[in-house]
Amino acid sequence: MSTFDKREDSFEKKFVHDRDLQFKVAARRNRLLGLWAAGLMGLNGDDAAAYAKQVVVADLAEAGDEDVFRKIRGDFDAKGIDQSDHQIRRTMEELFAEAKAQIQNEG
């Protein structure tokens, strides 16, 4: 294997690792977001965990975070929860950072 091939292989492995890490962080963030939203909606225990799973699954609908945002926004609207779009998005950003830190500390 030439030096170029080794370098290419290294870049490919790093790319796969980074994508895997990004997926894990997003899934963790979505679970944390689901638990946060569940708390605001008065859900706890198994109901909160089930709702958090729904939020994780909602992220599989399309690329990006808009599918998750729409799920939370729609559920808040349906339940009469007073949270601005800005607050939801800010919480998503904060929980992304928290999820990333949690995963980095695990490894």
Tens-place pLDDT, residues 60-101: 888 889 999 999 999 999 999 999 999 999 999 999 999 999
List, in order of start, the domains of the chain with CATH numbers. 3-106 (1.10.790.20)
Share of the chain residues as helix, strand and coil, in percent rounded to the nearest 5: 80, 0, 20
pTM, full prediction = 0.84
Which of 1-15, 49-63, 71-85 is the most confident on average? 71-85
Tens-place pLDDT, residues 14-47: 666 667 888 899 999 999 999 999 999 999 999 9
pLDDT at 46: 97
